[in-house]
Structure 1
Amino acid sequence: MALALSGCGSGAGTVKVSVAAYSSNPLCAKASAHWPVTVSSQTARKVSVSSPTVRAWGNPAIIARCGVGTPAPTAAGCLQTNGIDWVSSPLDDGTRFVTFGRSPAIEVLIPTKYAAWGLAAFAAAAGQIPQNAGHCS
């Protein structure tokens, strides 16, 4: 996962990203319509794919993708922000957050520069995908 975030580059050009495996799920189209305009006061950037299910903001880039696999049940690294459960895992240069208890899941990669402050901006998008029985405890 460290490669996913560090591969973004630090320049202000196009952010290199890939479409997630389950991005064709209709719930991703619904969630993508609710991506935030700004994240941590950072504006959107151009991404290398033409899919509404992938978005980036700021420099270094905060990246969001809908359609990643749902994480396994866990208590470690599980947190709730604005009513959305997330599983976090450290990266070399930031943190990876994946929605928990929602399928398909949304992945947000946040560089260390921003900490996790930007995570709340994704509540509207994540809330478009129904919560199943999985919750952070």
Structure 2
Amino acid sequence: MHRRRVLRPPLALTALAAPAVLLAGCGQDAVRATPFEQSESPACQAVAELWPATVGDLAGRITAVQSTGVAAWGDPPIVARCGKTPPGPTEDPCIDVDGVDWVATELDDGTMFTTYGRSPAVEVLVPEVYDSAPMWLPAFGDAVETIPQTLGECSSVFD
């Protein structure tokens, strides 16, 4: 399998330099993240209504953004954002987790999982301190499945 390594500073620093995810807290408990443009769309509102209370054994965190399309769990936080432009064809691994297809992109500081075949897409950033296996993704199934998978499915053939 081909895994893309993106040369980036740690997630917390990336957000300070560009409009990406900010994992440093605003105050002691809040997690900041930049919402996607479509984060307040009706599809993302439906997703947000079903964000899980916990992800694995990680409790939900307060977010310091005015968007229900962004949620976080744990410390350091796993961050989920709805409203991403769906990925096109990719060489990154695409996996089915309980009927939801996810593209796994390895970053220098963790793994980015993005739903495949759904518009808008949902992105889940898992910091490297956690196991990057898709074990975190079943928690998002009910929320993600509110967006129909109309743009294709993962291929079952990988090189």
Quick check: 1:104–1:129 contact (8 Å CA) kept in 2?
A: yes
- Note the C-alpha offset of 1:4: 8.0
The equivalent residue for 2:78 is 62
Aligned match of 1:9 in 20, 24, 33? 24
The equivalent residue for 1:97 is 113
By relative contact order (CA 8 Å, sep 6+), the higher-ranking structure is 1
What SS class does the counterpart of residue 96 from structure 2 fall into?
A: strand
Specify whether residues 66 and 4 from structure 1 end up closer, same or farther in structure 2 by C-alpha distance, changes over 3 A only.
farther
TM-score with structure 1 setting the length? 0.90
What SS class does the counterpart of residue 47 from structure 2 fall into?
A: helix
Aligned match of 1:114 in 102, 118, 130? 130
- Note the C-alpha offset of 1:3: 5.6
Specify whether residues 29 and 123 from structure 1 end up closer, same or farther in structure 2 by C-alpha distance, changes over 3 A only.
same
User: Comparing 95-104 with 43-52, which one deviates more in the overlay?
Assistant: 43-52
| Alignment partners' CA distance in 1, 2:10 and 2:153 | 26
Residue 46 of structure 1 pairs with residue 62 of structure 2 = yes
Q: How many residues align?
A: 137
| Alignment partners' CA distance in 1, 2:127 and 2:33 | 15
Percent identity over the alignment? 43
One-letter identity of the residue aligned with 1:135: E
| Alignment partners' CA distance in 2, 1:12 and 1:59 | 11
One-letter identity of the residue aligned with 1:39: V
| Alignment partners' CA distance in 2, 1:48 and 1:37 | 17
- Note the C-alpha offset of 1:101: 0.1
Q: Deviations over 1:41-100 (max 9, x none)?
A: 010111110221100000010000110110012353111111000111111221001100
Quick check: 1:12–1:59 contact (8 Å CA) kept in 2?
A: no
TM-score with structure 2 setting the length? 0.78
User: Comparing 35-44 with 6-15, which one deviates more in the overlay?
Assistant: 6-15
User: Comparing 97-106 with 73-82, which one deviates more in the overlay?
Assistant: 73-82
- Note the C-alpha offset of 1:5: 3.0
Q: Structure 2 stretches of 5 or more lacking a match? A: 1-5, 13-21
